[in-house]
Amino acid sequence: MESALSSSLSLCFLLFAFTTNFPLAFSGAPEKVTDSQGRPISGAGKYYISHVNGGPTGGGGLFLAQTGNSKCQVTILQDYYDGHRGLAVKLSTQGAGSGGGVLTETPLDVAVDFKPSCASSSKWVVVADNFSQKWVGIGGASDHPGAKIITGTLKIEKYNEGYKFVFCVSTTTCSDIGTFDDGETGKRLILTNNAPFKIAFVSAS
């Protein structure tokens, strides 16, 4: 009897622990992403990506550069100069119309507003090659010879008083997007687990 009671109590404890911690495996409920003026991001809008003061990196906006084996400007870099706003981007929830809003914790497409004629696509992709980190660019496999395009989804998450981009290869395996200074003409956007690029979205209209 005592053994059966002990087993029952152990089972109840395990069930309680599981149900108590289960929600912690997930991020918070999706909420509207807003720009620097507090207005909801629109899929029809264009936005500059600006670092938030006090984040782990300084610098300005984003631009495209030619690096590695590529013959086109398909690598995304962050400008060293904080007065440079850089390229605007468009944000859209996957499977939704271009005029819809954008939510945190939700798969989305990010595309630069200006695409070089030599690039096959303006959408962001994550690339793995002989560079020391997996990094963010645009285009497809043909734009990155000798490299691998990593399959996954981009999301936006709330991060202190700003936001951060997150790249997930599965529902449980995600990395932050940060910056890395390798002595190029700017800092590459790369996957990181300890230094996210804290950002705000500034309307380009």
Residues 97-156 pLDDT 10s: 666 789 999 999 999 999 999 999 999 999 999 999 999 999 999 999 999 999 999 999
Residues 178-204 pLDDT 10s: 999 999 999 999 999 989 999 999 999
86: pLDDT strictly greater than 60:
yes
75: pLDDT strictly greater than 60:
yes
Residues 31-51 pLDDT 10s: 999 999 999 999 889 999 999
Number of continuous H segments (helices) and E segments (strands) in the chain? 1, 13
Which burial class, exposed, middle or buried, applies to 202 when counting CB atoms under 10 A from its CB (0-12, 13-18, 19+)?
middle
Domains (range + CATH), the chain: 26-203 (2.80.10.50)
Return the half-sphere exposure (C-beta side, CA atoms, 13 A cut-off) of residue 84: 14
